[in-house]
Amino acid sequence: MNVTQDMSVWGLVSHASLFVQLVMLGLLLASLLSWWYIFRKAFALRQAKADTEAFEKDFWSGGDLNSLYQAAAAAKHRGGSLERIFEAGFREFSKVKRPPGADRSAAIDGTRRAMSATYQREMDALEDNLAFLASVGSVAPYIGLLGTVWGIMHAFMGLSTVAQATLSLVAPGIAEALIATAMGLFAAIPAVLAYNRFSYDIDRLAVRFESFMEEFTNIMQRQG
């Protein structure tokens, strides 16, 4: 062992064993990808909440539903999730109730099913990449710990070639190994915090979507 080894973080990483370096590289990539998903999801949820609030304001302002439907259909790929749920439900209701003598319950059931299908697609889109954040948050510390255990084992094995073991000889190897644990925590903590926050925000949006679907169904029943 080199007693005069560079004790800076970069020096410790560069002198770590190949396995520990691979662990560090994997954790670094996981951390970078997590931050990419975190920023993307934060902006997406902020936009989703803004779109939901804007559509709810338009819907409950007392305007004509046909005009609101035409606007939603024209902006199908640019509108928010709640707007697409409304558009799917109103389109299905218009189709089912159009034939003379059509059963009103069939129109309502068709409207509810159309909104439920769109609701599931929108929720899947909102929850996209959350599983990755959950996986990083739960697995990264253990991967870092694996690198630490391997690095410490490698450091103690190196003592077999020296006549007298001292702290100065084993300290660099232990320090190298502990960096893996630190990187595991650095990757896991933001992922866990982001996952919990995003899950809460998505749950709140889901409640608003479900409430709107129930209220819109009641409106269609009264107008049917």
The helix/strand/coil state of 201 is helix
Question: Can you tell me the distance from the alpha carbon of 73 to that of 185, in angstroms, rounded to the nearest whole number?
Answer: 46
DSSP letter at 160?
G
pTM for this entry: 0.81
- Residue 192: Cβ within 10 Å count: 18
Question: Can you tell me the distance from the alpha carbon of 176 to that of 154, in angstroms, rounded to the nearest whole number?
Answer: 10
Mean pLDDT, rounded, for 136-152: 89
Q: What percent of the chain has pLDDT over 90?
A: 39
Ranked by mean pLDDT, which of 5-14, 172-181, 195-204 comes out on top? 195-204
**pLDDT tens string 17-52:** 788 888 889 999 999 999 999 999 999 999 999 999
What does the pLDDT read at residue 49? 93
More confident residue, 98 or 217: 217
Mean pLDDT for the chain?
A: 82
> Could you tell me the residue ranges of all domains in the chain?
9-223
What does the pLDDT read at residue 94? 80
